[in-house]
Structure 1
Amino acid sequence: MQLEIRPDPAEVGRARRWARSRLAGSGIEVDEPLAETLILLVSELVTNAVVHTGCPAVLRLSLPEKTTETATVRLEVADASTRAPVPRWVDGEATGGRGLALVDGLADRWGWSPEGAGKRIWCELDRCSAAADRAAACMGGALPTYQGYEGVAYEAV
């Protein structure tokens, strides 16, 4: 399933609403941690496409028809810019520049590849169990460590 995105910041909210509406048939509850993380990743990747390219984009979401305890959800955003995504290091006063660091910290895997005259950025989330602490459950009890982003704080508002 996919959604066409115009190069307009208002599209970010529409993309989040669209992604939430797609969760209903997948067996992923909108209030479970996997869904909340997915919506945050949609927001970050669509924002990057809208703000940094000024081009239309396409949001693709691959949800399993019936979610099992080990289902993988894949999110992709394709745009017409050939510019590679580059994680940035920003100081504590900057109001932006943390999007890819956030994607790196929240997704189980992410990457990008050239696509036609543009590129596709993707990320995947694994649903390992229904445990409240998704990260601990997926890592066998060990919390993940994120190298290269020391001193970066994330706050959900």
Structure 2
Amino acid sequence: MQVLQVQLEVRPDPAEVGRARRWARARLARSGIETDEPLAETLVLLVSELVTNAVVHTGRTAVLRLSLPCGAAADSATVRLEVADSSDRAPVPRHPDGEQTGGRGLALVDGLADRWGWSREGAGKRIWCELDRCERAQRARACGGGIPYEDCEGLQGIQGLEGLEGFEGLAYEAV
């Protein structure tokens, strides 16, 4: 299987987060991942979170990299997102109270990605996450992660989920 790797250098400026989201949307569309697919929306949200963390917490230039499968097997492959920076500070998940406006990024990454982690790289680090492109994995994420899709319909009574027929079409926009 062929994998297209694309990367973007991100300056330590909060305005770069929006540029990174636009860039990621364009690269996903060119690789055959439609912008209204749940996978694309999830990836753009993860780009937003990881680039924001790099910009806000390091104050240094970072590199955003997407590894996008292409070719015949792309529909069932894994998409990888990485953000590398030159800060040696390890990412630390926080547990903010309900009043704090930040600190939820890594929890969001943990909840949306199929896998994620980080590693030291030279004087800095690389934070990565992966999303499986197969339909079943996308539906499981839309269903709350880890819950077999077939069991989602039994969750209709959970507060905030009323009216979502099997969760098809669940979408959100990172703005």
Query: Same-fold call, TM > 0.5?
Result: yes
Q: 1:47 to 1:33 in 2, by over 3 A?
A: same
Shift of 1:48: 0.0
Q: Which runs of 4+ in 1 moved over 6 A?
A: none
* Letter of the 2:14 counterpart: P
Question: Which has the greater radius of gyration?
Answer: 2
2:30 aligned to which of 25, 45, 53: 25
DSSP 3-state at the match of 2:43: helix
Aligned pairs for 1:9-88 (under 5 A) are 9-66=14-71, 68-88=74-94
DSSP 3-state at the match of 1:73: strand
Q: Percent identical across equivalent pairs? A: 75
Q: 1:139 to 1:72 in 2, by over 3 A?
A: farther
DSSP 3-state at the match of 1:69: helix
The answer on whether the counterparts of 2:33 and 2:40 sit within 8 Å (CA) in structure 1 is yes
Gaps of 5+ in 1: 145-154
Shift of 1:132: 7.5
Q: 1:35 to 1:134 in 2, by over 3 A?
A: farther
Q: 1:80 to 1:143 in 2, by over 3 A?
A: farther
Deviations 1:8-45 (A, max 9, x none): 00000000000000012222111010000000000000
Deviations 1:61-94 (A, max 9, x none): 0001236331110000000000000100010000
The answer on whether the counterparts of 1:129 and 1:138 sit within 8 Å (CA) in structure 2 is no
Shift of 1:141: 2.2
Q: What is the aligned partner in structure 2 of residue 141 from structure 1?
A: 149
Q: Distance in 1 between matches of 2:133 and 2:114?
A: 10
* Letter of the 1:29 counterpart: E
Q: What is the aligned partner in structure 1 of residue 125 from structure 2?
A: 119
RMSD after superposition: 2.5
The answer on whether the counterparts of 1:25 and 1:65 sit within 8 Å (CA) in structure 2 is no
The answer on whether the counterparts of 1:34 and 1:134 sit within 8 Å (CA) in structure 2 is no
Q: What is the aligned partner in structure 1 of residue 98 from structure 2?
A: 92
DSSP 3-state at the match of 2:74: coil
Gaps of 5+ in 2: 1-5, 153-171
TM-score, scaled relative to structure 1: 0.85
Deviates more, 1:74-83 or 1:20-29: 20-29
Q: Distance in 1 between matches of 2:46 and 2:151?
A: 19
